[in-house]
Amino acid sequence: MNYPVNPPSQPDLDRGTGSMKITGARVIVTCPGRNFVTLKIETDQGVYGIGDGTMNGREKAVVAYLEEHIIPLLIGRDPRRIEDIWQYLYRGAYWRRGPVTMRAIAAVDVALWDIKAKMAGMPLYDLLGGRSRDRVMVYGHANGSDIAHTVDEVGRYISEGYKAIRAQTGIPGLDKAYGISKDKKFYEPAEGELPLETVWDTRKYLNYVPQLFDKLRDTYGFDHHLLHDVHHRLTPLEAAQLGKRLEPYSLFWMEDSTPAENQEAFRLIRQHTTTPLAVGEIFNTLWDCKDLIQNQLIDYIRTTIVSAGGLTHLRRIADFASVWQVRTGSHGATDLSPVTMGTALHFDTWVPNFGIQEYMRHTPETDAVFPHDYRFDDGFLLCGETPGHGVDIDEALAAKYPYSPKQLPVARLEDGTLWNW
């Protein structure tokens, strides 16, 4: 065999049938209530694609990564070569993984899948392999200032048709607990230019939260799925204790019970409780959850399209997870733009090992900036049939909402020590 000693440094950009090229790419930043970073990729065929690169509270880092380091690499490339472009941006950067890099790659990847599905005249789920289900079960966020209030809020979600509800409660003696808002419908924190300071006390929390689920099951029975987000606050042993105490209430999952950097921590939690475990909204690659999955230490993997390098990588994580019966539970708070929500719904419609999809409604202003064809019906979301992922951006309207710096809160213990928010 004769191998070329000096292969051409530039790959042939047109190895497909006929030629197609990326002619332009632009980042659009808009703040219709909260900040979103959107990438629009244009082609010489007139077809364009839309991708989301939003990172709540650190938006401009992704904007710079895209504008300075990625867009110049895209121009002239064949947009149909999604896998090669993904590998080029991931391996080619040398600096792998991380929330900024993987969101920038996700924005490109989703825009390219959008283009490919539009060219094929197919809704994205069809291109992925077709439907595994008719509709996507979602869970909504119920939260109240105390148990009585949260129980009422869960009732409101049940009356709106939700089959699954995440319940978070304020804790007596603790100011501004995680998940508790003034604005019941659209809440997702990111407020002033400096982070809001909240106070945390594990003892008060561990005493109070099991009482919430006791009251919820007492009031509404066991027909609905109930979920709870601990938001990284506990040690592994405390998480194990909470999981055990919640067992009688048969939760769908206990989420993010410890800071997720330490995958080994879940071994301890797992040894002590049968409450299902979910983690991963801050994970960016398969490498962040490989041990958790292959050791069967979790039940649901929560990373999603925008966080983990787009569809190309998320489907790889999902396939890997399916081997160990770990199911998907994609993050879907309002800081993930409608572009990510729409794409996630196509993914959810296809992926065989689907678990559940988080869903928080965006504001009417956000919905108007991002016209989309997905819709809520009786506790489920349905993706549309428009070719592509079904979400667009109204650029003229987007321009009316300029970027506005906002920060996620922080948490401190009562003695002032900085804790995990």
E-strand ranges in 129-273 read: 136-144, 164-169, 197-200, 225-229, 253-255
User: Between 336 and 375, how does the x/- string for binding to ligand EZ4 read (CB under 6 A)?
Assistant: ----------------------x-----------------
Question: Nearest distance from residue 119's CB to ligand EZ4, in Å?
Answer: 33
Q: Which is nearer to Co ion, 109 or 229 (CB)?
A: 229
DSSP line for 233-251: -S-HHHHHHHHHHHGGG--
Max CA-CA distance within the chain? 76
Q: Which residue, 168 or 349, has its beta carbon nearer to ligand EZ4? A: 168
**Do 174 and 200 meet the contact criterion of CB atoms below 8 Å apart?**
yes
Question: Which DSSP helix (H) or strand (E) runs through 39?
Answer: strand 36-43
Q: How far apart are CA 307 and CA 288, in angstroms?
A: 12
Residue 88 or 186 with smaller CB distance to ligand EZ4:
186
Query: Does 56 sit near ligand EZ4 (CB under 6 A)?
Result: yes
Strands ordered across the beta sheet of 48-52: 22-30, 36-43, 48-52
CA–chain centroid gap for 285, Å, is 13
Tell me how far, at minimum, the Cβ of 281 lies from ligand EZ4, in Å. Answer: 6
In angstroms, give the least distance from the CB of 287 to ligand EZ4: 21
59 binds ligand EZ4 (CB under 6 A): no
Cβ neighbours of 91 (radius 10 Å): 9
Please state the φ and ψ torsions of residue 165, each to the nearest 5 degrees: -140, 130
Nearer to ligand EZ4 (CB atom), residue 238 or residue 255: 255
- With CB under 5 to 8 Å by kind, the binding choice for 196 among Co ion, ligand EZ4, none is none
State the DSSP code for 42: E
153 binds, among ligand EZ4, Co ion, none (CB under 5 to 8 A by kind): none
d(CA 30, CA 227): 32
Q: How far is the CB of 308 from Co ion (least distance, A)?
A: 15
**CB-count exposure of residue 213 (10 Å: 0-12, 13-18, 19+):** buried
Closer CB to Co ion, 123 or 329, in the complex: 329
Residue 229 near ligand EZ4 by CB under 6 A: yes
Minimum CB distance to Co ion, residue 42 (Å): 35
Candidates 183-191, 204-212, 278-286, 303-311; binding stretch for Co ion (CB under 5 A): 278-286
Catalytic residues: 178, 231
Q: Which of 281, 288, 299, 348 binds ligand EZ4 (CB under 6 A)?
A: 281
Nearer to ligand EZ4, 55 or 115 (CB): 55
Q: Which contacts of 183-187 are long-range, i.e. CB under 8 A and separated by 24 or more positions?
A: 184/143, 184/153, 185/361, 186/33, 186/334, 186/360, 186/361, 186/362, 186/363, 187/141, 187/143, 187/334, 187/360
Phi and psi (nearest 5°) for 268? -65, -45
What stretches of 145-269 adopt beta strand conformation (E)? 164-169, 197-200, 225-229, 253-255
* 103, 163, 225, 231: residue in contact with ligand EZ4 (rule CB under 6 A): 231
Residue from 28, 61, 196, 333 binding ligand EZ4 (CB under 6 A): 333
The listed partner (ligand EZ4, Co ion, none) that binds 335, CB under 5 to 8 Å by sort, is ligand EZ4
Distance CA 145, CA 330 (A): 26
Contact between 358 and Co ion by CB under 5 A: the answer reads no
Which is closer to ligand EZ4, CB of 299 or CB of 358?
A: 358
Provide, rounded to whole angstroms, the least separation between the CB of residue 202 and Co ion.
18
> Token digits for 312?
């190309």
Site string for Co ion, 191-230 (x = CB under 5 A): --------------------------------------x-
Task: Give the residue carrying structure tokens 């787009």.
Answer: 310
Segment contacting ligand EZ4 (CB under 6 A): 15-23, 104-112, 331-339, 363-371?
Answer: 331-339
Site residues for ligand EZ4 per CB under 6 A: 56, 188, 229, 231, 281, 331, 333, 335, 358, 408
Site residues for Co ion per CB under 5 A: 229, 281
